[in-house]
Amino acid sequence: AQSVTQPDIHITVSEGASLELRCNYSYGATPYLFWYVQSPGQGLQLLLKYFSGDTLVQGIKGFEAEFKRSQSSFNLRKPSVHWSDAAEYFCAVGFSGGGADGLTFGKGTHLIIQP
């Protein structure tokens, strides 16, 4: 079965510093990869997605992610974080031909921004 690992449960970053959130997935087929953000008490909002093509994808709010097939990774980055980036971040994966049963989500990384 497919799985997604987000190894960091919590990450604390100073405002203005750079950020990298890690995501690894299992399974051998071509992945469809997503990063979602969830602010407290809110639903999930898509930050960016990768289906094919350029392995560096740009998203909203200044985020980017890079797909590395050799490492089965899809890490999320931002060069300079803002206090408003404090939230829960979820990596998710689906696979072409994997059925209609939605995406598999990681357990999330809670981002804390220090002033």
Give strand ranges (E) for 26-103.
31-38, 44-50, 56-58, 64-68, 73-78, 87-95
Q: What type of residue is 7?
A: P
Would you count residue 106 as binding another protein (CB under 8 A)? yes
Among 101, 113, 114, 115, binds another protein (CB under 8 A): 101
Would you count residue 115 as binding another protein (CB under 8 A)? no
Q: CA dist 56 to 19, 64, 88, 97, 100, Å? A: 16, 7, 22, 24, 26
- DSSP state, 30? P
Would you count residue 35 as binding another protein (CB under 8 A)? no
Would you count residue 77 as binding another protein (CB under 8 A)? no
Identify which range of 14-22, 41-49, 68-76, 78-86 contacts another protein by CB under 8 A: 41-49
Residues that bind another protein (CB under 8 A): 4, 9, 32, 34, 36, 41-46, 49, 90, 92, 94-96, 98-103, 105-108
